[in-house]
Amino acid sequence: MEISKNFQHNEAEQKWYAHWKKAGYFTSTPDDRPAYTITMPPPNVTGVLHMGHALNNSVQDILIRRAKMTGFNTLWVPGTDHASIATEAKVVAMLREKGIDKKTLSRDEFLKYAWEWKEKYGGIILKQLEKMGCSLDWDRTAFTMDEGYYAAVMRVFVELHEKGLVYRGVKMINWDPKAKTALSDEEVNYKQTNSKLYYVRYKIDSDTDEYITIATVRPETILGDTAVCVHPDDERYAHLAGKYCFVPLINRRIPIIFDDYIDKEFGTGALKVTPAHDINDYNLGLKHNLEVIDTLNDDGTMSEAAQLYVGQDRFAVRKAIVKDLDAAGNMVKEEEYSNQVGYSERTDVVIEPRLSMQWWCKMSDLALPALDAVMNDEISFHPAKFKNTYRHWMANIKDWCISRQLWWGQRIPAWYDKEGTVYVATTADGAHDKYRAAKPDLAAQHPVLRQDEDVLDTWFSSWLWPMEVFDWNKNPGNANLAYYYPTSTLVTAPEIIFFWVARMVMAGYEFLGQKPFDKVYFTGIVRDKQGRKMSKQLGNSPDLLQLIEDHGADAVRFSVMISSPAGNDLLFDESQLEQGSFFCNKMWNALKLIKGWESRVGEVDDTNILFAIEWMEARMAATAAEVEELMKDFRLSEGLKTIYSLIWNDFCSWYLEWVKPGMEQPVSQHVYNKTVSIFEQLMQLLHPYMPFITEEIYHLLRERTDGDDIIVKQLQPYAAADTQTLNDGQMLQELITAVRDCRNKSKLKPKETIKLAILTGNQHFYNRVLYILSRQVNAELIGFTTESIAGAISLVVQTDKLFVTAEAGGIDTNEQKEQMLKDIAYLQGFLVSIDKKLGNERFMANAKAEVIEAEKKKQSDALARIKTLEESIAQLG
């Protein structure tokens, strides 16, 4: 089979993904193997693949592929979230382009357009995940608005309502004027904003010309003021007890009230009270029985109740009212002011606090078992630092606003009769049955009930994701749910720890009495090399599909994983893509080199290079054990770096150089077979990270039977690596490096040979590696000596001395001496740090015995090397 000059990633990706799918490697059914299950965090149907998806899904695919190769029955469930706010916004924008206003459509007409949009665009992101190589069980693709899923959400709402955990009530909520819906507290992002603090004076209702001055950052809300509040201990305002003042511009007469809620030091110590537009003002209003005047429409324009600026946008009014207050003599001054302003997580517009009748979910009871599960490590968080974030939120949890003023989503299963009584049931028929039973006479006269117009928060459906993808609602005891649930690992971002992670844990315990997953791995945020979060607005988010097209999925996966320490943010630089591409080229060139030996296999004595095979196998065993431990701790980036070093350095740079035959020379069958086997095992270790090139190389190394694919080939168990062989390999590398460095400094040409005399107490080691060493340094003769060689270059490697002589080239003993002095200075500094550690009573009392022994060995090794170096310097004269 002819091997192309370079790895053709586009061809390989299409070929192998189609092969894996056709072979059924992504599909899973329960069997007698242990299950390893991940349910993908469902991306929004509006989504397209970006760098955050590349990181999150690469991590999930790595975990699934490695589990598949270690004896697990793996299942990775794909799906999408209906994303009420984002999708409705997309559909409204699409209709606007067609000249259609949503207001002119009925609910059913709008939903028809929404479903058409979903069918056309909603699956794009899932198709794009195929380009990444994601090994998802596509037969199980779920959607949070599927019929069965919808029914599960209805059931949950009704059950929680019957338990008193879902209720309806008027509260201050976060209002999104762009999406025109309520938001939960978790859907509000607070940003530090440069604002202005306006000082405005209110005329006191008296015969005098007295005013009281307040400070506000939102002068447009003045039109909804129903009181001014001061602290009862503030002597500046004590004389105003029982007095009234007038709201500027509209002259509404409002009371001056006293409450110790007020901060005397902020502004003037006097606070305007607007109960309809601030939660704290609302609470003051309840306490003091104040009128509530809502001056804003649902789109952020001023309402009729404002009296002025009716129909104008709130921020335009802010500018206008400042001018009018100044003209009326009520504006005292302006100051620069920095404050936290809430923005909608979905639309990025400033939210408005607003009193509203909404549906709520009582959270305190649901939170208790979910908090205990994480604090007691029944569910383990990686990194564990996120336990504190989780605990703080769960311990201070507030009721969840679950209704949204939208049409796209699960419609709230509540119906109202003519008198306003509510009937909650999973279906309209169920609600009517309750109605007829409760009010038979009214039902006979007015048989039709009106369903609630609102839909449920998207998260109220996605909190059921790990169980409902296995048909929990319809078949609660089914084999899939019993086998795959609880799932193994959730991979997600810390910013949705409250939106989604905590709520899934609550739902799991509430409805199944079980945790939804064993472990949660939190990825970091993908940032650019300047540390900025990637976003469309900044224009710093590369086109992921184009990166895959240009560099290949393997290089892209490599680039996001190589610099992604567990739980920390990833600083992405496109130069990392080059590193991934170079790595692919390195492996491809190794493949071509090895396949080039195939025609040169013959009868040849290979005993003199068997050490190379022993060492490489020991390095693989040691690395496999190291990677196993790293994977357990979700240190995937470190795992990739370890495998990368094993392949690039140990295999390509050392092993292949040690075993490759000379020009047109034969290679033994044993060495060839072993080299192919080692390369196969290296590809297995790397496969979860870079699936396409590893499968391609695996198949090119030798002929394969059907089903012999690396994706399902089980990782072999390794015996413990032989420490002596590893140390000998390290010594050989140091010897080769030292002699090559000496050759370069002595300006010897590559073809010019040298002679080596070695002063050592370990001839057995050299007898094992003599042939490899002589070839690597081009030595025509290597012997042993018991004394220094006059006129030779003296080298020190560990505690051995090497004497190098050459027919050609000069010998600069001064340079050799200078280098040795530098080495001694370094070792002496190293010894100081070791001596400090061993002289530290706390360290000696608390450190494990093996740690102390290791430090003592470092000390003795350094002392021995210093002694050897000093002897060598003395011999140089």
Q: What is the DSSP string of 325-346?
A: HHHTT-EEEEEEEEEEEEEETT
Q: Give residue-wise pLDDT tens across range 754-795.
A: 999 999 999 999 999 999 999 999 999 999 999 988 888 889
Residue 810 has pLDDT above 60, yes or no: no
Q: Measure CA 707 to chain center.
A: 34
Within 10 angstroms of residue 275's Cβ, the number of other Cβ atoms is 25
Backbone angles phi, psi at 176, to 5 degrees: -95, 105
Q: What is the DSSP string of 174-231?
A: EEETTTTEEE-GGGEEEEEEEEEEEEEEEEESSSS--EEEEEES-GGGGGG--EEEE-
Residue 67 has pLDDT above 80, yes or no: yes
CB-side neighbour CA atoms (13 Å) of 357? 4
Within 10 angstroms of residue 741's Cβ, the number of other Cβ atoms is 12
Instruction: Return the structure tokens found at 746.
Output: 């002595």
Cβ atoms of residues 347 and 85 within 8 Å: yes
Q: Give residue-wise pLDDT tens across range 6-25.
A: 999 999 999 999 999 999 99
Which residues, other chains included, contact 39 with Cβ-Cβ below 8 Å and sequence gap of 6+?
Answer: 76, 77, 79, 465, 466, 469, 487, 490
> Where are any strands of DSSP class E within 27-153?
35-39, 73-77, 79-80, 142-143
Pairing relationship of beta strands 253-258 and 211-216 according to DSSP bridges: unpaired
Residue 581 has pLDDT above 80, yes or no: yes
Cβ atoms of residues 413 and 166 within 8 Å: no
3-state secondary structure of 418: coil
Residue 817 pLDDT level (bands cut at 50, 70, 90): confident
Taking each helix axis from N to C end, the angle separating 51-68 and 544-551, rounded to the nearest 10 degrees, works out to 60
Q: Measure CA 616 to chain center.
A: 35
Query: Residue 209: what pLDDT?
Result: 93
In this prediction, residues 463-477 reach a mean pLDDT of: 97
Q: Sign of the C-alpha dihedral, residues 638, 639, 645, 650? A: positive
**Helix or strand run (H / E) with residue 731:** helix 723-745
Q: Order the strands of the 166-176 sheet from edge to edge.
A: 181-183, 166-176, 352-361, 400-401
If one compares 834 and 463, the residue with the highest pLDDT of the two is 463
Q: Percent of the chain having pLDDT more than 70?
A: 98
Q: Give residue-wise pLDDT tens across range 85-142.
A: 999 999 999 999 999 999 999 999 999 999 999 999 988 999 999 999 999 999 999 9
**Percent helix, percent strand, percent coil in the chain, to nearest 5:** 50, 20, 35
Residue 433 has pLDDT above 70, yes or no: yes
Angle at 734 between CA 731 and CA 738, to 5 degrees: 140
Residue 874 has pLDDT above 80, yes or no: no
In this prediction, residues 471-496 reach a mean pLDDT of: 95
Cβ atoms of residues 679 and 697 within 8 Å: yes
Within 10 angstroms of residue 10's Cβ, the number of other Cβ atoms is 13
Q: For residues 618 and 789, what is the distance between their CA atoms, to the nearest angstrom?
A: 36
Instruction: Return the structure tokens found at 96.
Output: 């606007």
> Where are any strands of DSSP class E within 371-479?
380-382, 400-401, 403-404, 414-416, 422-424, 450-451, 455-456
Find the Cα–Cα–Cα–Cα dihedral 761, 765, 770, 771, rounded to 10°.
Answer: 180
Q: What is the DSSP string of 562-609?
A: TT--TTS-EEE-THHHHHHHHHHHHHHHHHHHHHHHGGGB-----GGG
54-73 burial: b if 16+ Cβ within 10 Å, else e: bbbbbbbbbbbbbbbbeebb
Nearest to 730 by CA among 808, 613, 650: 650
What's the whole-number average pLDDT of the chain? 93
| Amino acid letter, 8 | Q
Residue 876 has pLDDT above 70, yes or no: no
Q: For residues 616 and 608, what is the distance between their CA atoms, to the nearest angstrom?
A: 15
Partners of 335 in beta bridges:
197
Q: For residues 514 and 392, what is the distance between their CA atoms, to the nearest angstrom?
A: 22
Cβ atoms of residues 502 and 462 within 8 Å: no
Query: Residue 536: what pLDDT?
Result: 67
Residue 811 has pLDDT above 60, yes or no: no
Nearest to 583 by CA among 678, 694, 672, 660: 694
Pairing relationship of beta strands 793-797 and 414-416 according to DSSP bridges: unpaired
DSSP label of 727? H
Query: Residue 861: what pLDDT?
Result: 83
87-126 burial: b if 16+ Cβ within 10 Å, else e: bbbbbbebbeeeeeeeeeeeeeebbebbeebbeebbebbb
Q: Percent of the chain having pLDDT more than 90?
A: 79
Backbone angles phi, psi at 354, to 5 degrees: -150, 135
Within 10 angstroms of residue 737's Cβ, the number of other Cβ atoms is 13
Of 102-116, 411-425, 735-749, the least confident: 735-749
Residue 576 has pLDDT above 60, yes or no: yes
Q: For residues 638 and 645, what is the distance between their CA atoms, to the nearest angstrom?
A: 11
Q: Give residue-wise pLDDT tens across range 516-547.
A: 999 999 998 888 888 888 876 677 888 889 99
Residues in the chain: 877
Q: What is the pTM of this model?
A: 0.86
Integer Rg of the chain from CA = 37
Cβ atoms of residues 294 and 282 within 8 Å: no
Angle at 852 between CA 623 and CA 821, to 5 degrees: 80
168-197 burial: b if 16+ Cβ within 10 Å, else e: eeebbbbbbbbbbbbbbebbbeeeeeeeeb
Q: How far is CA 435 from CA 22, 77, 411, 455, 687, in A?
A: 54, 41, 19, 22, 61
Residue 809 has pLDDT above 60, yes or no: no
In this prediction, residues 821-832 reach a mean pLDDT of: 88
803-831 burial: b if 16+ Cβ within 10 Å, else e: bbbbeebebeeeebbebbeeebeebeebe
Find the Cα–Cα–Cα–Cα dihedral 833, 835, 840, 841, rounded to 10°.
Answer: 160
In this prediction, residues 505-525 reach a mean pLDDT of: 96
Q: Measure CA 604 to chain center.
A: 53
If one compares 875 and 801, the residue with the highest pLDDT of the two is 801
If one compares 373 and 544, the residue with the highest pLDDT of the two is 373
Find the Cα–Cα–Cα–Cα dihedral 457, 459, 460, 461, rounded to 10°.
Answer: 110
In this prediction, residues 151-157 reach a mean pLDDT of: 98
Cβ atoms of residues 609 and 660 within 8 Å: no
Cβ atoms of residues 259 and 231 within 8 Å: yes
Q: How far is CA 442 from CA 417, 432, 445, 744, 876, in A?
A: 9, 12, 5, 102, 114
Q: How far is CA 65 from CA 25, 530, 603, 694, 795, in A?
A: 10, 33, 40, 12, 48
In this prediction, residues 66-91 reach a mean pLDDT of: 96
Q: For residues 254 and 228, what is the distance between their CA atoms, to the nearest angstrom?
A: 7
